Amino acid sequence: MMTSTTLKLPTFTIMALLLVGCASSPTGRNQFLLISPEAAILESETAYLSTVGALDEEGKLATDPNLMGRVGRITGRLVTIAEEDFPNSQDWQWSVAIIDDPETVNAWCMAGGRMALYTGLIDQLELTDDELAQIMGHEISHALANHTAERMSRAMATTIGVVAVGVAADNSAAAMAGAALLANLALELPNSRVAETEADTIGMELATRAGYDPEAAVTLWQKMGSLSEERPPEFLSTHPEPENRQAELQRQIPTMLALNPNRVKAPITEIEIVR
């Protein structure tokens, strides 16, 4: 059973964590963050534990040892490369909740490396290991590029300023409650198309260097495109058009192949598969 803890921080710490301004993504893109990456990680933990805890109580967490082992091996190799390139992620609590939901085609990764993968994504697309690596690499890249903090910042900009009110009133509990609300809203908000394209590139490189075929990125989105002709998956809500995405990924394949021409598999970093 999942549990969560209440985080208590003084108001000046909340203010320092929340209000940070401009930053740059791993690709050099300017990011305006009202929420710091550190605050995003803190609040994502609370939101994740709440979300996954509810799924656990409903019996919706997959327990198939073969599936859990497969996801752990593939994601563990990606995490090895991620930690090499982004040393700050070595302290993250990497974990994957495999949600037993054959109707949902979706996956996500919050700040701090906490992920979820729906069985519908694997089953409906009949994913190969290489294609699954592209999915998980893409989602990990959202966390590495601070896209959760961006989504929380967008949520903050469209709310009535509950966090700012709490800080101004010297009420750390109100500020933390507001930040927790933003973290939960960020779970529901889609990434921007710019962020999706950025995660495609970073994720493709992670998967290639971890030993997986970069060409699987193209076959993955071909499958996504075919599925979306019948009913667009939630995963594609604001993603670039599959045809455009396939063309851009195809263009990057020669560069990616040069990174690991023999497709040598990376060591597996042990991560938690939530059960």
Q: Which residues are catalytic?
A: 139
CA distances from 128 to 57, 61, 185, 200 (A): 30, 21, 32, 18
Cα 104 to Cα 141: distance, rounded to the nearest angstrom = 21
- Per the CB < 8 A criterion, the answer to whether 68 and 62 are in contact is yes
Letter for the amino acid at 44? Answer: S
Residue with tokens 């803190």: 42
Burial class (CB in 10 A: 0-12, 13-18, 19+), 195: buried
Cα 19 to Cα 250: distance, rounded to the nearest angstrom = 39
Strand boundaries in the chain, DSSP class E = 21-24, 30-33, 95-99, 107-110, 114-118, 272-274
Burial class (CB in 10 A: 0-12, 13-18, 19+), 30: exposed
- Per the CB < 8 A criterion, the answer to whether 94 and 144 are in contact is no
Letter for the amino acid at 32? Answer: F
* 28 three-state secondary structure: coil
Q: Is the dihedral of CA 86, 90, 92, 93 positive or negative?
A: positive
Rg of the chain over CA atoms, in angstroms?
18
Q: What are phi and psi of 96, to 5 degrees?
A: -130, 125
